[in-house]
């Protein structure tokens, strides 16, 4: 999806782009370590951790017992005393055990200590769903974390962003939630060889357009691009923004785009209500009301737990069609 | 005082232990009236009566050793070397406080002296100390991490997760459980079966023992041994210290805002007052002719002066400005 200006860009899978970021950062900075369940196992983390254990050893690549609360706290504590841990939850659902160290401790730490304590931790959760896994192996809960002051939340959709945002997350002195998606792991894209940062809080305009803005995140950016191509055949010119960062999100680019098109669809991988899509909708209504030609429409998961049966999954997960339909709605067409 | 205690302690150490305990006691007690008259509002969980643990443990630690505390951590902060002024300012919530008035009583820290943070989520900082110990091991440093928590924390799962992982990797972590027999209003016998707390570490193969937490020399001995073991790679170590808080769970007494949230029998309180760690240590020092009464008196007067100065300073400092509300969210 993205093209890059680097002379050394080549095609790489999303999961291997993350892997490259980890290798390069761990090479560059001895304080970076990776800790979490399944870092030794492709079944858990795909190919994102390939070769790390062999290269950096068991002191810096730590596969843990099933203790999400303590392991997350340990990553936070290690960050407080000067390490740069990357803590992985191979399924985001299991992060629920770790809410205290993430929200009560990490998010608040710098502020409640008057700036005298910092937490340069990356808390990485993989959205791992489908395949009839059911409700507790499927959740994308970035909305919950984005609600909390003191956390940054990023969700790259492309291989080049996956690498650049992991690098940025590691180098950031604050707690950053890095959320990727198994459904993106095999996506290929152009990735520069050298280490580079993608700024947190900056979206990217994947497609210029004048009729309607789609602001999307993570896997929905893939679907939105397909929807945009389909819509273009029907004479509707979509401007597609891959938001990349949930929090902070790129208010400037979003406003610039909405002021141009006057129409906004937000395509999110989380649930419809009380989440990222709801936030962008509220923000645009406050900041760009006069520019809107129609209400903001959210395309997201229905407010339901994730089912197992494939027929129900089919009805549950948004598709390209849902985005196309939403665009037609804001364009006033049937 | 225990007769098994070695008589080889230096005068410097004895003075330090006495001074530290007294600093904690006088500081805590100086807050009482201000809490009662409302000038101090942040909830203060006073550690009067438990000073020997903070003093004895921290006396064996170096500045580069990491400690993490809880809601009752004024003593840990002072014993590790934190400034009285900065602590009292924080309790007054002034912008000169150790957390610039953003934390209040329950968030005190002084990283320069190795006090890396405190927080009131029960057992919330245990895993942070675990992480500090992990950092020590990764960086191959000759230092230890200490986690201070109470008997109430033995109800939290993360303590057991932390013991498991620390034992698995032989981390240089000292678990210090200050058992004062009450978890806010709940007596310990209503929280856990009648099994000594230190035994919870045994299934993990952790060196674990229970001691008199009101005998500062015993605390010092146990903590020193624990530190040695950790430095040799034989950690973690679990230390349970029996003690008692002379004040309320929060505030000066058990009668918080008119509601008796924890009612302890008067006879029990009286019994423990007799075991006051500072009075016991004073008696011991004098009876064994280890320190002169005049020296003790001198120390007392110096500490009184420091605490008084701390209050004068703190109460004259300004509160943080409302316009600075959004500072310090991110680095």
Q: Is residue B327 part of a domain?
A: no
pLDDT band of B256, cuts 50, 70, 90: low
- Calculate what percentage of chain A has a pLDDT beyond 70: 97
- Rounded Cα distance between A87 and A71, Å, is 8
pLDDT at A43 (0 to 100): 83
Q: What is the pLDDT of residues B20-60, one digit of tens each?
A: 999 999 999 999 999 999 999 999 999 999 999 999 999 99
Decide if B117 and A109 are in contact by the 8 Å CB cutoff: yes
- Calculate what percentage of chain A has a pLDDT beyond 90: 95
Decide if B330 and A150 are in contact by the 8 Å CB cutoff: yes
B73 min Cα distance to partner chain A (Å): 14
Residues of chain B found within 8 Å of residue A56, distances taken between Cβ atoms: none
Domain that holds residue B246: 11-319
B106 min Cα distance to partner chain A (Å): 10
Eight-state DSSP code of residue B44: P
Eight-state DSSP code of residue A301: E
Considering only the beta carbons, identify the residue of A70, A81, A100 that sits closest to B162. A70
pLDDT band of A3, cuts 50, 70, 90: very low
* Surface of A (56-85) touching B: CB under 8 A: 59-60, 62, 64-65, 67, 69-83, 85
Q: Which of A110, A137, A142, A185 is catalytic?
A: A137
Decide if A113 and B125 are in contact by the 8 Å CB cutoff: no
Eight-state DSSP code of residue B110: B
Classified as helix, coil or strand, A281 is helix
Q: Evaluate if residue B253 carries a pLDDT over 90.
A: no
Query: What is the greatest pairwise CA distance in chain A?
Result: 59
What is the rounded average pLDDT for all residues in chain B?
95
pLDDT band of B9, cuts 50, 70, 90: confident
- Rounded Cα distance between B13 and B192, Å, is 37
Q: What is the pLDDT of residues A126-158, one digit of tens each?
A: 999 999 999 999 999 999 999 999 999 999 999
CB A110 within 8 A of CB B117: no
How many independent structural domains does chain B possess? Answer: 1
Helices (H) and strands (E) in chain A, counts: 13, 14
Q: Is residue B217 part of a domain?
A: yes
In the block, residue with structure tokens 């006396």: B59
Contact of A104 with chain B, judged by CB distance below 8 Å, is answered with yes
Q: What interface predicted TM-score (ipTM) does this complex get? A: 0.96
- Rounded Cα distance between A110 and A118, Å, is 5
From the candidates B66, B125, B128, B147, which should be mutated to test the interface with A, based on the most A CB atoms within 10 A? B128
Instruction: Write down how long chain B is.
Output: 331
Average pLDDT value for residue range A297-313: 96
CATH, domain range A204-331:
3.40.50.920
pTM of the prediction? 0.96
Residues of chain B found within 8 Å of residue A109, distances taken between Cβ atoms: 117
Considering only the beta carbons, identify the residue of A60, A77, A100 that sits closest to B121. A100
Decide if A149 and B137 are in contact by the 8 Å CB cutoff: no
- Domain A10-192 is found in CATH 3.40.50.1370: no
Residue among A175, A119, A171, A165 nearest A145 (CA): A175
Q: Evaluate if residue B3 carries a pLDDT over 50.
A: no
Q: What is the dihedral of CA A43, A46, A51, A55, to 10 degrees?
A: -80
Q: Do domains A10-192 and A204-331 have the same CATH topology?
A: yes
Q: What is the pLDDT of residues B231-241, one digit of tens each?
A: 999 999 999 99
Q: Evaluate if residue A234 carries a pLDDT over 90.
A: yes
pLDDT at A58 (0 to 100): 95
Considering only the beta carbons, identify the residue of B103, B161, B168 that sits closest to A112. B103
CATH number, domain with residue B276: 3.40.50.970
pLDDT at A5 (0 to 100): 59
Q: What is the pLDDT of residues A186-206, one digit of tens each?
A: 999 999 999 999 999 999 999
Decide if B99 and A64 are in contact by the 8 Å CB cutoff: no
Average pLDDT value for residue range B203-229: 98
Indicate the domain borders of chain A: 10-192, 204-331
pLDDT band of A1, cuts 50, 70, 90: very low
Classified as helix, coil or strand, B222 is helix
pLDDT at A317 (0 to 100): 97
Q: Is residue B145 part of a domain?
A: yes
Q: What is the pLDDT of residues B262-298, one digit of tens each?
A: 678 989 999 999 999 999 999 999 999 999 999 999 9
Q: What is the pLDDT of residues A239-278, one digit of tens each?
A: 999 999 999 999 999 999 999 999 999 999 999 999 999 9
Beta bridge partners of A89: A125
Residue A183, class by beta-carbon neighbours within 10 Å (0-12 exposed, 13-18 middle, 19+ buried)? middle
């Amino acid at each position: 999806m993205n093209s890059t200006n680097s002379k050394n860009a080549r095609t790489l899978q999303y999961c291997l782009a993350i892997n490259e970021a980890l290798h390069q950062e761990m090479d560059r900075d001895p304080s970076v370590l990776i800790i979490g369940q399944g870092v030794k196992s492709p079944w858990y983390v795909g190919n994102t951790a390939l070769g790390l254990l062999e290269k950096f050893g068991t002191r810096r690549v730590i596969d843990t017992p099933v203790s999400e609360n303590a392991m997350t706290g340990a990553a936070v504590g290690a960050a407080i005393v000067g390490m740069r841990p990357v803590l992985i939850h191979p399924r985001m659902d299991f992060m629920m055990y770790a809410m205290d160290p993430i929200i009560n401790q990490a998010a608040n730490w710098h502020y409640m200590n008057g700036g005298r304590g910092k937490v340069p931790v990356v808390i990485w959760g993989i959205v791992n769903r489908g395949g009839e896994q059911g409700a507790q192996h499927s959740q994308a809960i970035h909305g919950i974390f984005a609600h909390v002051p003191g956390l940054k939340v990023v969700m790259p959709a492309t291989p080049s962003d996956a690498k650049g945002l992991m690098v940025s997350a590691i180098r950031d002195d604050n707690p950053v939630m890095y959320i990727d998606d198994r459904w993106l792991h095999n996506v290929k894209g152009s990735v520069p060889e050298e280490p580079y940062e993608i700024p947190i809080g900056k979206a990217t305009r994947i497609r210029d357009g004048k009729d309607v803005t789609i602001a999307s995140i993570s896997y929905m950016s893939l679907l939105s691009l397909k929807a945009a191509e389909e819509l273009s055949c029907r004479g509707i010119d979509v401007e597609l923004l891959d938001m990349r960062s949930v929090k902070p999100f790129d208010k400037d680019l979003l406003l610039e785009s909405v002021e141009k098109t006057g129409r906004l669809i937000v395509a999110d991988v989380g649930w419809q209500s009380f989440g990222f899509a709801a936030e962008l909708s509220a923000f645009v209504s406050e900041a760009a009301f006069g520019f809107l030609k129609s209400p903001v429409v959210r395309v997201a998961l229905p407010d339901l737990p994730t089912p197992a049966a494939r027929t129900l999954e089919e009805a549950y997960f948004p598709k390209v069609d849902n985005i196309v339909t939403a665009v037609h709605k804001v364009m006033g067409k049937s | 005082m225990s007769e098994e205690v070695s008589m080889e302690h230096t005068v410097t150490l004895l003075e330090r232990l006495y001074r530290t305990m007294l600093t904690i006691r006088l500081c805590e007690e100086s807050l009482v009236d201000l809490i009662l008259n409302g000038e101090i509002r942040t909830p203060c969980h006073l550690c009067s009566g438990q000073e020997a643990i903070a003093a004895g443990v921290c006396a064996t630690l170096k500045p580069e050793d990491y400690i993490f505390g809880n809601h009752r951590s004024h003593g840990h902060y002072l014993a590790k070397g934190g400034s009285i002024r900065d602590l009292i300012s924080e309790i007054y919530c002034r912008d000169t406080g150790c957390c610039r008035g953003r934390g209040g009583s329950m968030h005190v820290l002084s990283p320069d002296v190795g006090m890396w943070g405190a927080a009131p989520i029960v057992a919330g900082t245990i895993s942070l100390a675990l992480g500090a110990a992990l950092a020590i091991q990764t960086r191959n440093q000759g230092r230890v991490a200490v986690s201070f928590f109470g008997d109430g924390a033995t109800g939290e799962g993360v303590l057991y997760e932390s013991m498991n992982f620390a034992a698995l990797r032989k981390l240089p972590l000292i678990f210090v459980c200050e058992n004062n027999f009450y978890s806010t209003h709940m007596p310990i016998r209503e929280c856990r079966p009648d099994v000594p707390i230190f035994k919870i570490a045994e299934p993990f193969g952790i060196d674990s023992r229970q001691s008199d937490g009101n005998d500062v020399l015993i605390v010092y001995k146990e903590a020193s041994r624990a530190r040695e073991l950790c430095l040799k790679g034989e950690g973690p170590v679990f230390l349970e210290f029996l003690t008692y808080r002379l004040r309320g769970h929060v505030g000066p007494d058990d009668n918080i805002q008119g509601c008796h949230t924890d009612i302890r029998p008067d006879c029990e309180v009286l019994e423990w007052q007799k075991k006051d760690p500072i009075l016991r240590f004073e008696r011991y020092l004098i009876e064994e002719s280890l320190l002169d009464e005049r020296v003790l008196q001198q120390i007392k007067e110096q500490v009184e002066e420091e605490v008084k100065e701390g209050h004068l300073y703190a109460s004259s400092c300004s509160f943080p400005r409302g316009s600075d509300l959004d500072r310090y969210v991110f680095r």
